[in-house]
Amino acid sequence: MVTGRIVRPGLRPRAVGPGRLQFRRTGLGGVRLGCLLVLVIVGAAMYYGAPLGDMYWKYYQFRDAFRQEVRFASQHTDDDIRRHLRALADTLQLPHEADTIFVRRKNNHILLWTEYYDHVDVPFVARDSFYFNPQAEGDF
């Protein structure tokens, strides 16, 4: 029996003779290649996914604004609707093509739409332009 020795976690004692112990590592706390590989993959996904996610998040916000303008179309003129949507496109820093807002009214029905291409600057992405077509229509 060995007294006065503190056994640290990750070390396993083994008897090598009378009253003597030898400690060997069990592998606890070691860095494994699989864990490192997972971290690299997650990091790459975040690096490439963040700009793409941001681009689609802006599109969904812009599309939601179109739907809201349709809901309140009876209270706003066509020029007011265009002004609101252009201001939002500028706030979201969308491409200049998004400023071209089309408004069609017929009786109590309205249709709003625009088209634009957006791009992402990340290395090794083969497709650099994405087509977006936010639109909304409804009765008021």
Is 59 contained in some domain?
yes
Q: For residue 132, which of 46, 66, 49, 34 has the smallest C-alpha distance?
A: 66
What would the pLDDT profile of 58-90 be if each residue is shown by its tens digit?
Answer: 999 999 999 999 999 999 999 999 999 999 999
- Counted domains in the chain: 1
Residue 123 within a domain? yes
- From the list 53, 73, 50, the residue with the least C-alpha distance to 61 is 53
Q: Which domain holds residue 100?
A: 54-139
Task: Answer whether residue 113 is part of any domain.
Answer: yes
- Whole-model pTM: value is 0.71
pLDDT tens-place string over residues 23-64: 666 555 556 777 888 899 999 999 988 988 999 999 999 999
